[in-house]
Amino acid sequence: MNRRTLGRGLSALLGNFDEPEQDENGAADPQAGPSAGVSLPQNELPISLIDPNPYQPRQEFDPAELEGLADSVKTHGVLQPVVVRQVGQRYQLVAGERRLRAVQILGWHRIPVRVIEIDDQQTCELALVENLQRKDLNAIEKAQAFERYLSQYQTTHDKLAKQLGIDRSTVTNLIRLLELPDAVQQMVAKNQISAGHARAILSVEDPLAQLTLAQEVVDKGLSVRETERLTRESRTASALVSEPAPSAEEVPAEIPERSNHIVSIENELKQKLGLKVEIRAKGEAGQMVLHFASHDDFDRLLEQLRR
């Protein structure tokens, strides 16, 4: 299996082997069969021999949606087999958990299967691709799945993004959501606040303040832009409280004059980075300050620095 094809979807991996198309209620379309010219194996296995996919990132399955799919399966049958791999004397689900659950709801004992040979890492990648491309996970489920994959296979955000055919910043931004308090993560998982709201809240460092802001977003129904404004106000208020006025001894007698050379370097970096740059030199030491005004600015800056 060529892992470079992951970004093109499951069809590249499973031989144009797609889920049945669904109507607006989530039920299978009885007219939507296998792709023309594709021969699908019709092997069956006892459901009791099929174990869950340990790499399944989806934690929540809509009961009403599963009931609708079960009704469709009862009427039209399982239009396409689930995909499994053999592990010892048993089989492990690779793709098609919704179909398997629908069949279990009906009390059936066997299900059509397609058996493929893949390793653990490929199984994990397929589980991610199936859920990302066919039916969106919530942002926290994605973040947890990404973090688990990165930890288990010791890879980078960039490599994982290429495997899945998505932007590196998408991987990074989602994983950052796991820095939020559990209560705020639950708000994201339950769609009480969006990932955009959560990223804005992340700009505030104090966990208690993050939770307070998240609850305010829910209570007032704030937009992402309003949330960003609120977090800016919160950071400003926090800075005023946490930074006492300098003593007379700490106030410099004069502000060091900035040379034309330093100003020219600041301007050059500003042009290259598209951000305000400050160089604060004092003798041989000093600081370089890079200013960013939004999460998009930060992500772009981070990408440039990593290159």
Could you list the active site residues?
97
Pairing of strands 50-51, 90-95: parallel
Sequence letter at residue 75: T
C-alpha atoms less than 13 angstroms from C-alpha of 148 in its C-beta half-sphere: 16
Sequence letter at residue 33: G
CA dist 217 and 231 (Å) reads 11
The residue among 121, 165, 174, 170 whose CA lies nearest residue 144 is 174
- CB burial of 50-76 (b: ≥16 within 10 Å; e: otherwise) equals beebebbbbeeeeeebbebbbbbbeeb
Per-residue tokens: 95: 């793709």
Place of tokens 């060529």: 2
